[in-house]
Structure formats: C-alpha cells, structure tokens
C-alpha cells in the first residue's frame, strides 16, 4: 500500500482531473474512497443496482488477498457502506461463490428497497442468498443468478462452473481442471436457466445445443467449427422484462483467439430467438429501452465502436464514433432521458491509466472524471481491477473500483455539478 500522504495526494489529483490530460476536466467531480485497507474491497458488476434506493448505502465485497485465482475454499464477506455515517462498513454475510470481475453478483434486488441478493455455495451447489437488510431475514434459492427481471420476480443464470473453465474471472471455482477441451462442446442440458424468485422453481430456458443449431451468418473467419466449445455469458433483461440479451461464445480448435462472440436475444419465456449481432465482437452492453441495446461491437459500418441495435431487426446506429473509440463498461445515467452515458476505459498510454468519464449524446461532449494508474502485478490478468463505474439511483453520483493506491478499494464520485 502507498503511504497515506501519497494516497491522499493521488486521490486529490485524480478528483481534479490532473491525470486526465483533458483541458476541460471539471474540478467539481469530487472523488473519495469509501472503503479502506488493510483488506481489499470491490463491488458487483457495473450493470447492477449497487446503491440503495435512497443512494445512502453502497454494496461491496471484502477479501484479504489479491493476485491469484480464487479456489472453492476461498470465501469473501459482503457488506454495505453507509456513505452518510463516515463510510461505516456494515457486514451482511459471506460468499463462497465468487470471482474477481463480478464478485458474487452482489446487488439490490430490483423492485425492493430492502432486499440484497448474492450468490453463494451450499452443500456443494451454487445458490442465491436474499437478505432483508431491515429485518435480517435471509432465504436461500436453489439456483444462482446472473440477472433479474426489472420487477425482481425472475432470475436468469448461465452455468458458472462451465464459465470458470471457459472464461476465468467470470465463473465460480469447483476444483475442476481448467481444460476447456475436456468439456462437452454443445450439451443439451447446460445453458440459460430461469428461476422463480418467490418459489425457487427453475427450468432450462435455452441450451447450448440449441444455440449451436442456429446457423452462423457472420464473417467466415469467426464462425464456429466442428469441435468448438460453446458457452453463454453476460445476460441482461430488458427494461420491461420481456426480452433477455446474452452472449453466445465459443472457442474453435486451433484458434489463437480466446473466444468468438455473437449476441442473441430471446423472450423471457423462451422462443423468438434473434441474432442481434453475428459479427464476432460484441462486448459490454446495456438496454436503453425495451427495444434497443447499446453495445460495444464490431460492425462493418464503422469497425469497433459503440452502437445502438434495435432488437428483432437489422437496425444499427453508431454512438460517439470519435468521442468513445475504445471499449468500456457503458451504462446510461438514470434520470437523464438516456442523454448521458457513464463509461470508462481499460488501461491506456504509458502510464496505463483507467479513465471513468461521462458522455453527453446530444452535444457529443465527453467529460473526463478522473484517471487512475493500474497496478502492474494485476493489470491484464483474471484478477485485474477494472473501474466498472456504476451510477447511483439519482444519477448524481457513481461508484467505481481502483487499485491505484496499492490495492483495490471502492471510490465514490459526486458528479452533480457536471450535469447542468
């Protein structure tokens, strides 16, 4: 860890935009750490509810090591930070099913101002824990989750054990060897599961075997071949709870690329499957509304850029072509009529700086909020610390992770002064 005086200096410079290299970097973006060592802290994923309904509490994971893959014996604590009481840590429980990129999927249950959900392990099986933070009542569901419907009544999940082998950093350890070629290529009993949050009843919504049967219509050089290993990742329900977006990924024998991708959507009850992007490079995304998806992808019109896709059609529109030319973790700021985008970058330049920023679509204006050096020992690895910015419910703040002070901690940025 850096000496505290250096940490405070670094944090202050970052909050003033001194690392941004951008003359328009605002001085009103106040940034402060809300977690502290000696233990390390990071949150759930960027597209989850991490702020409580009143913006007071921010969810976080806590762990006492960095720099290696978690084993099935490693556990973390989950808690929330009271940002109105000296950033007091409130312990909520623990998890034995987690990874470095998405933690244990810790989040506030959509539609509730009191329930917090996360994934765990019980009797050798992955499960969902739901805690009522006001009453202390906890219940356990028999299946883990990746995403919920907007009303919090339905959960969807891929196979986290398969993910741990196919995409380390996104699945949960089982102790199995990470040899992708020992997996069944396209099983018919593995895929996306749908679970009723009230009853725990579950069913397989869409299998890998079904996905592999959908003809590939993208560039021939990224098409899946015989013997390819397939998996699903990155699920997200649309804003009215009717459609589910997910990534179908595969690795071909002999392919130097780690994986190829196509983006699909499906009705939440199954059926009406649509290949939204067959071109091989879809990455981070968010639903703008029930019909439109805002995603980083490769498209023949402008190459690698952010695009808005219209579901169940071939409509594609580039967004921020010159202002947002790099992949990042993109969401829309709440309460801004989808005019403001919250985003970040992976490490860039000789200093390997990660840059959370805002982008105003109507005026094509990008505002750098800060820039934070990465830690060489974890940069680019499974246990890297991406900033993953997540907006508050009001859209006036966001939280993010950074390891710039010597180990990953959670930071809070006040951006109310930037949105006039």
Q: What is the mean pLDDT of residues 124-128?
A: 97
Q: What is the domain extent for residue 171?
A: 4-43+144-418
The verdict on residue 208 lying in a domain is yes
Q: What is the tally of structural domains in the chain?
A: 1
The three-point CA angle 316-321-325 to 5° equals 115
Check residue 44 and give its pLDDT. 85
pLDDT over 60 (residue 14): no
Q: For residues 354 and 328, give the distance between their C-alpha atoms in angstroms, rounded to a whole number.
A: 10
pLDDT for 248: 98
* Spatial distance between the Cα atoms of 239 and 327, rounded to a whole number of angstroms: 23
pLDDT value of position 29: 82
pLDDT tens profile 358-378: 999 999 999 999 999 999 889
Q: Is it true that the peptide bond before 351 is cis, omega within 30 degrees of 0?
A: no
Nearest to 190 by CA among 222, 212, 168: 212
Angstrom CA distances, 354 to 163, 291, 301, 328, 348, stand at 26, 31, 28, 10, 7
Tens digits of residue pLDDT in 217-249:
999 999 999 999 999 999 999 999 999 999 999
**pLDDT, tens digit, for every residue of 15-68?**
433 333 333 444 568 999 999 999 999 998 999 999 999 999 999 999 999 999
Query: pLDDT confidence of 9, banded at 50, 70, 90?
Result: very low
Q: Please tell me the distance from the alpha carbon of residue 239 to that of residue 132, in angstroms, as a whole number.
A: 24
Q: Looking at the domain assignment, is residue 364 inside a domain?
A: yes
> Is position 269 within any domain?
yes
CATH of the domain at 226: 2.120.10.30
CA dihedral 325, 328, 332, 334 (to 10 degrees): -140
Question: What would the two tokens of residue 313 be?
Answer: 């059609």
Residue 420, pLDDT score: 74
| Position 114 in a domain | no
- What gap in Å lies between CA 147 and CA 390, rounded to an integer? 15
Is residue 339 situated within a structural domain?
yes
Inside any domain, residue 116: no
Q: Is residue 381 part of a domain?
A: yes
350 Cβ contact list (under 8 Å, min separation 6): none
Q: 195 lies in a domain? A: yes
Per-residue pLDDT tens digits for 162-173:
999 999 999 999
Q: What is the largest CA-CA distance in the chain?
A: 59
| Through-space distance between the first and last CA atoms of the chain, rounded to whole angstroms | 37
**What is the mean pLDDT of the segment spanning 125-138?**
98
Average pLDDT, the chain: 93
């Amino acid at each position: 860890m850096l000496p505290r005086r250096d940490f405070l200096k670094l944090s202050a410079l970052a909050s003033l935009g001194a690392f941004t290299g951008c003359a328009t970097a605002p001085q009103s973006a106040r940034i402060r750490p809300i977690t502290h060592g000696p233990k390390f802290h990071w949150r759930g994923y960027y597209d989850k509810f991490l702020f409580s309904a009143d913006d007071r509490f921010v969810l976080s994971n806590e762990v006492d090591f960095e720099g290696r893959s978690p084993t099935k014996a490693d556990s973390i604590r989950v808690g929330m930070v009271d940002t109105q009481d000296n950033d007091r840590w409130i312990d909520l429980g623990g998890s034995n099913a987690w990874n470095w990129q998405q933690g244990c999927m810790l989040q506030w249950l959509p539609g509730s101002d009191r329930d917090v959900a996360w994934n765990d392990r019980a009797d050798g099986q992955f499960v969902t824990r739901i805690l009522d933070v006001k009453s202390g009542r906890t219940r356990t569901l028999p299946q883990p989750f990746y995403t919920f419907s907007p009303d919090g009544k339905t959960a969807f999940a891929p196979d986290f054990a398969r993910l741990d082998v196919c995409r380390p950093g996104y699945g949960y350890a089982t102790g199995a060897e990470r040899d992708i070629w020992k997996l069944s290529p396209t099983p018919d009993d593995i895929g996306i599961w749908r679970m009723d949050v009230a009853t725990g009843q579950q069913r397989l919504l869409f299998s890998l075997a079904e996905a592999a049967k959908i003809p590939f219509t993208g560039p021939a050089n990224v098409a899946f071949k015989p013997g390819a290993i397939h998996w699903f990742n990155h699920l997200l329900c649309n804003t009215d709870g009717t459609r589910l977006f997910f990534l179908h990924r595969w690795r071909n024998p002999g392919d130097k690329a780690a994986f190829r991708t196509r983006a699909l959507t499906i009705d939440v009850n199954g059926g009406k499957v649509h290949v939204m992007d067959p071109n091989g490079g879809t990455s981070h995304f968010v639903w703008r509304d029930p019909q439109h998806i805002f995603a980083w992808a490769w498209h023949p019109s402008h190459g690698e850029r952010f695009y808005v896709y219209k579901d169940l059609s071939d409509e594609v529109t580039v967004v921020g072509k010159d202002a947002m030319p790099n992949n990042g973790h993109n969401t829309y700021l709440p309460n801004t009529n989808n005019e403001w985008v919250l985003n970040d970058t992976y490490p860039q330049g000789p200093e390997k700086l990660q840059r959370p920023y805002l982008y105003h679509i109507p005026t094509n204006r990008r505002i750098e909020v800060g820039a934070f050096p990465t830690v060489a020992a974890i940069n680019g690895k499974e246990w890297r610390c991406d900033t993953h910015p997540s907006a508050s419910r009001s859209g006036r703040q966001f939280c993010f992770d950074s390891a710039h002070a010597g180990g990953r901690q959670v930071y809070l940025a006040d951006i109310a002064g930037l949105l006039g």
